[in-house]
Structure 1
């Protein structure tokens, strides 16, 4: 793809790349969207191994988002901060193996545990960091959806797990496809629910599962949040009832826009 000339698109020349638009890997590049960047915090996080005072960069055009987030941080900071522990980690990709009949699919489903070591060798050959932790099969008609779950070092690992799983599936099809009666495979069948919130993530988290908690005193609630702890708790309970009635997945108020603002500020895929 030819890079558009910066003389015709002045935003490119002043978009943070020192005029070198060739370093931007986006198709049909015409410029940059500039988003206001605010800083929320501080907030002390008590982890299992260390304690840190952190700030959150938020890229957003939504008025009051940074202020609201900062006020929440102030309330918890005044109450000793937040405690957090990592419970599990697992980036998944869920290919689908296709068969001519349900009985062939059942046979493969039962053999998946015995194939795990071979799949692990093939998958981990693609990366120094990807480690295949488990393969969990799900039988649906004549198809077997297999959730490949990885740890990926310090990376989010969505591309890493995709590349590793693709190679493992290709190798399996080439080496044992006829024996296992695999007709074909598709790299993803939506059981990984990539970039979509799904019920499966409640009990099989995709990414890092973190358990965090903090305690707000009544005094802090009144001074910082302008209401008593009892009234705030009551509002949360009412919100949960409404969320259940509406069929919502979860009952938070505005976590999504805070996370999106943080992801954009840090150069991450906002859909993740």
Structure 2
């Protein structure tokens, strides 16, 4: 079944959609888009290090993404303007990663594949890593869903309920790093945050509660992956950007439908 590269690509896209959906909802609710940018941009440094040390790209990307995410987490609330801090970290990490990649001798590296993804080159091992990462993220989010919602709604309310907002933020940080590491092969570091935000934002006008928003976001993300893959094959366009373009189109449709429904009421 998995000998067909198109089937592997489709399953890879679905795995990323499932992993990104619940996390993307919290990224939208907490306005963490720039946080995701800093983490994903750092992953290219992880790619360079993994190639230099001859280790798995997933391992290198996950390690550096975790370091970046934990660094941002540690610096938050310490008097820094977060938008400025995240902007500095995001672009600095990407630049350092690209420079580091240029120093690799005797290693052939396709930067475009890591920047924009290469879903058609997903192997069986990549597919296993993607779905294991998705299972880990979904399990963590499901186990901490109520606490995460409470911490997102109101930090003081969370403390009064026995929920530590910092701990829940750390869980989101770890989940974000995992999603970045598993998604790098599919959509690339420059488009990972788009797959986190756009399906979740598109689900918002259609959802009645947080749980339905996560389910709708997963559906929109899965549709984006399948339809984007089809568009890429049909018109010979880059696959990762095609997936994001389809997600953007679905976002426009969902927002339009949501407004029409509100007017009808």
Higher strand content, 1 or 2: 1
Give the TM-score normalised by the residue count of structure 1: 0.23
- Greater RCO, 1 or 2 (C-alpha within 8 Å, sep 6+): 2
